[in-house]
Amino acid sequence: MNYCTLEDIRGHVPDARLVEVTDDLTPNADGEIKLDIVGKAIEESSTLIDAYIGKRYRLPLPSVPSVLRSVCVDLSIYNLYERITEMNISEGMKLRYNNAIALLKRIADGEASIGLEDGNKAEEAGFKVMGTNAPSMFTLESMSSL
């Protein structure tokens, strides 16, 4: 599931800049936004989001929470700029990227919510989390007998 769209990104980045960061295949550049490149950036960002929230929520989500849409936009914009080495990534863009990752970590750890009902939590999907009181599978004694 992709958490944002090109239209969401266009709300933050002008089309002229999107052309700059996607239409870089000279001499075949044609001044158009390359949808496949934007799509790849969105897909990579969405996959990263799933890696974090999948620890906590059953995937795919029933809908896209606005907080994840915003995170995906920030990550996707960063990915688009990062692919063009000549483009300077601003401090503001780096901060937004780092804040997005920090938020995903807090969501994964249960310290922040994405606004979904509790019925969508991964534990209720059949996953069990072992507590710290579980016996160790590997001990010094069991490993030394190998």
Distance CA 25, CA 130 (A): 50
Q: Which percentage of the chain shows pLDDT scores above 90?
A: 67
List own/partner pairs for 17-24 with CB under 8 A and 24 or more apart: 18/80, 20/84, 20/87, 21/80, 21/81, 21/83, 21/84, 21/87, 22/80, 24/84
Is-contact 69 45, C-beta < 8 A?
no
Answer whether 37's CB lies under 8 Å from 77's CB.
no
pLDDT tens, position by position, 93-103: 999 999 999 99
Eight-state DSSP code of residue 124: G
Query: Which of 93, 67, 69, 91 is closest to 80 using CA atoms?
Result: 93
Given a cut of 90, whether residue 25 has pLDDT beyond it is no
**Percent of the chain beyond pLDDT 70?**
79
**CA–CA distance from 136 to each of 69, 113, 133, 142, 144 (Å)?**
40, 32, 9, 10, 15
State the Cα–Cα distance between residues 108 and 129, nearest whole angstrom.
Answer: 13
| pLDDT tens digits for range 64-96 | 999 999 999 999 999 999 988 777 789 999 999
Q: Which of 134, 79, 72, 133 is nearest to 107 (CA)?
A: 72
